Amino acid sequence: MACSEFHLFEEIPIDSDRVRGITTKAILTEDESKSLRWTSSTGTVSNPLTFDRPVQEITSTRTDDSVFVFTDKQGFVFPAGHKHPINEFYIQKTDLDMAIQIKTYSHNVSNFIVAILWTDKLIIYAEENRFELKLASGLRDLTFVDSEYIYAWGNSDIYRIRVFEDGPEVFRHLRVHLPRDEKLGKSEEIKSLQAGRRFILLQTCSAIYSISNSTGDILAVRKTPGILEMRLSFMKRHVFSESVQMLVLVFHNKIEFVEVDSLGKALKVEWSLLCTDVSNHSTGSVSVVYENNGKTVWLTPLGPEEKIQKLVSRNELQKALAFARHYELDEEIIYKAELKNRIQDKSKASDPGHFQAVRFLSKKITDIEFFQELLKIVENKELRNAILQYIGILIDKEGVDEQITIPLMKFDEMSQQMVEIIKTQNFARLPTLLFPYQNLINSEYQAKLLDFIPSKIPSEDLISIIGSFQKIFEISDSGFCQNMLPKWSSERALNLEQEEPSKWPENALKVLNALKKKDLMKMDFDFTGKENSYDVSIELLINNLEALNELKVQYRINIPLNDYIDPTQRSDWLLEWIAREVQNRHDEISIRRIFNDTVKPLTFKWGFDFENFLLPFTDVSKNIPLQAKVSIMKLIPTASVRQQQLLNLLDQLRHPFPDYLVEFMKTMLPAGRA
């Protein structure tokens, strides 16, 4: 298989509904009744998205992680496949009515920028702010580089625009002179523009030019006759590799993926897909939806594991095995699928080589749980005995090729050996030690086994112990794996908040996810917290810990679990967090970042009123710098409340006022009062 054949793209047939928005995980389609629905890469179709007013515009993002839906007065940000928006904002109707182009960018989904191009100006919506920037007439389109930079362009003028906290500014104005088209008798015309950090790619009717983003000089050219569209994105060729800049080229009869270097020069064609007709198409940054042989196809990138799962589900096992080896992934997933397919296919039971094939595939697999599940569908007695024998081989690391009777030691002696295993961290020996006792140890002794484990133990050791206990006692009638072990594991996971604070809650999630049985997630257990007791299911506990981990990764905040699960305590914690941050950051830019980048998205996510987290910090009694109070007042959404807070503050101050306060007074108070 050639290297280019290890591409991670998947061609997914879809219904011929009109495609309105594209991400790498799901596409948004519109049916004849104008209903919008998500279709995922697995073929799942969502319920319709609902809006109070008719939908006016829909755009995909530069990052392919979400779509923006606009009515005549509001904008909504929908992450891929989500029925409810992560963000919504008000937008002026005339901004959309007069728009030539609308482009969007989302960063970590919750932060977003909307750029609307008119004939003579650029309108920016960034969070709750709206800005305007006057530009020369004749501009035709725009594109994002990232959350900071936008390019707007016409026939020969290119504007590099930077989005600051207080609005956009023209960062650089380039005049580009492309070669003369002899047939047209004039310079080649720019059809589209894509931008990297150090270069700009210009698409004409027959070529793609890479030019310097500082001088406008041509750096490289690639002839592309018949090109319809180009898109620049970052992609991974390998699961462990760095992202590379990949140029997606759409032609009438093919789609190419070309790797480019830091100056936009083409290095090689990574992959090419031939099609019958791509003239009717729509694209995200990487994904493409097009017509092929009369069918609508969605071409989108997958992760290496996702791609292999797709191949296995289609029974393309040899290709899946080659993929696993190429991407250095566990090959067991291939052998498991092939073994399961062979046993499920009744027609292969009479195959002379069937029994030998089963034994060969079994020896490639070391997952005992897989074999225990497989036994449920094995009907042939001889095959069943062979699999049982192999399970015994896996458990007994000494290696036996037939079932033997193992002499049992006394429980006290066995317990001593178990303690020694835990002390030496030789957890691979646990299954060998305990397997003979799986049907002999009652619930009382199982509880004692858990007591042998030290009160403080690293999370990776906990995971090994949980896995071993599940393998051994899964078939026990005592309910150990369905009750006692999950309760104990959850309590130990919660203790990690104090024992491993730097890796909280990641390690707690790893411990809970070691409980692989799906039916455990539906059961309720009692857990004892540090301050109070509460009833919660493992599923809810995992959801809460995943939420804490998201807050840690996305917003760099660490909120205690007890504070998070109680809405009142969560509100109090957020107020305390703001107080600490404001004490350390006094300038207006820092204050805006605290509230716009963290507080605002969190209050939206948690259903709190954003204004209630501003007002306490503008109170005259609050012991924070005056400049910080004024900066916070500027963020109050309601003008009347903002003005009243200013008046309350002024009543407690004496002249002369600092300049920054005087400037704010001029914007908020009547001329006489100011």
Token reading at 649:
């503050």
Q: At what angle do helices 459-473 and 506-513 cross, to 10 degrees?
A: 10
Task: Please classify residue 628 by burial: count the beta carbons closer than 10 Å to its beta carbon, then call 0-12 exposed, 13-18 middle and 19+ buried.
Answer: buried
CA 586 to chain centre: 33
Cα–Cα distance list, 421 to 131, 391, 431, 464 (Å) = 66, 22, 11, 12
- Does the structure show a pLDDT above 60 at 54? yes
- % residues pLDDT > 90 (the chain): 6
> Using CA atoms, how far apart are residues 524 and 316, in angstroms rounded to an integer?
41
More confident residue, 446 or 278: 278
Residues 218 and 207: beta-carbon distance below 8 Å = no
Q: What is the DSSP letter of 264?
A: S
- Render pLDDT for 243-271 as a digit per residue (tens, 0 to 9): 778 888 999 888 888 888 888 888 888 88
Cα–Cα distance list, 139 to 99, 105, 210, 582 (Å) = 12, 20, 20, 42
Average pLDDT for residues 272-301, to the nearest whole number?
A: 81
- Contacts from 323-331 at CB under 8 Å and sequence distance 24+? 323/6, 326/1, 326/6, 327/6, 327/238, 327/239, 328/239, 328/240, 329/239, 329/304, 329/305, 331/364
Which secondary structure element, helix H or strand E, spans residue 470, and what is its range? helix 459-473
- Render pLDDT for 79-132 as a digit per residue (tens, 0 to 9): 888 888 888 888 888 898 889 999 988 866 567 899 999 988 999 998 778 999
Place of tokens 């900071």: 148
3-state secondary structure 406-439: CCCCCHHHHHHHHHHHHHHCCCCHHHHHHHHHCC
Choose among 28, 119, 40: nearest CA to 78: 28
User: How many CA atoms lie within 13 Å of 608's alpha carbon, on the beta-carbon side?
Assistant: 21
Cα–Cα distance list, 163 to 115, 144, 170 (Å) = 10, 11, 9
Radius of gyration of the chain from Cα atoms? 31
Token reading at 167:
């609005």
Place of tokens 């990297």: 196
Average pLDDT for residues 547-574, to the nearest whole number?
A: 86
Mean pLDDT of the chain: 79
Q: Give the model's pLDDT for residue 516.
A: 57
Q: Give the model's pLDDT for residue 399.
A: 41
Which secondary structure element, helix H or strand E, spans residue 450, and what is its range? helix 443-451
Residues 51 and 71: beta-carbon distance below 8 Å = yes
User: How many CA atoms lie within 13 Å of 424's alpha carbon, on the beta-carbon side?
Assistant: 11
Choose among 581, 55, 12: nearest CA to 292: 12
Cα-Cα-Cα-Cα dihedral of 379, 384, 387, 389, to 10°? 170
- Does the structure show a pLDDT above 60 at 30? yes
> Using CA atoms, how far apart are residues 602 and 556, in angstroms rounded to an integer?
12
Choose among 658, 584, 664: nearest CA to 624: 584
Q: Give the model's pLDDT for residue 438.
A: 59
Choose among 397, 331, 389, 398: nearest CA to 365: 331
**442 pLDDT tier (thresholds 50, 70, 90):** low
Helix (H, G, I), strand (E, B) or coil at 463: helix
Place of tokens 């042998």: 452
> Using CA atoms, how far apart are residues 674 and 666, in angstroms rounded to an integer?
6
- How many contiguous H segments (helices) and E segments (strands) does the chain have? 21, 31
Q: Give the model's pLDDT for residue 201.
A: 92
> Using CA atoms, how far apart are residues 278 and 276, in angstroms rounded to an integer?
7
- Which residues share a beta bridge with 162? 149, 169
Choose among 323, 400, 340: nearest CA to 374: 340
- Does the structure show a pLDDT above 90 at 533? no
Residues 100 and 115: beta-carbon distance below 8 Å = no
Cα–Cα distance list, 191 to 129, 183, 256, 500 (Å) = 31, 17, 18, 55
Strands 524-528 and 295-301: unpaired
- Does the structure show a pLDDT above 70 at 341? yes
Average pLDDT for residues 444-473, to the nearest whole number?
A: 76
- Does the structure show a pLDDT above 90 at 169? yes
Q: CB-based contacts of 348: which residues, under 8 Å, 6+ apart?
A: 342, 354
> Using CA atoms, how far apart are residues 479 and 367, in angstroms rounded to an integer?
22
- For residue 282, give the amino acid letter: S
Residues 305 and 315: beta-carbon distance below 8 Å = no
For the chain, the straight-line distance linking the first and the last C-alpha, in angstroms and rounded, comes to 76
Q: CB-based contacts of 40: which residues, under 8 Å, 6+ apart?
A: 25, 26, 46, 81
Q: Give the model's pLDDT for residue 152.
A: 92
- Render pLDDT for 378-417 as a digit per residue (tens, 0 to 9): 888 778 877 877 777 777 643 433 333 334 456 667 677 7
- For residue 624, give the amino acid letter: I
- Which residues share a beta bridge with 112? 106
Q: 251-265, 493-507, 534-548, 608-622: lowest mean pLDDT where?
A: 534-548
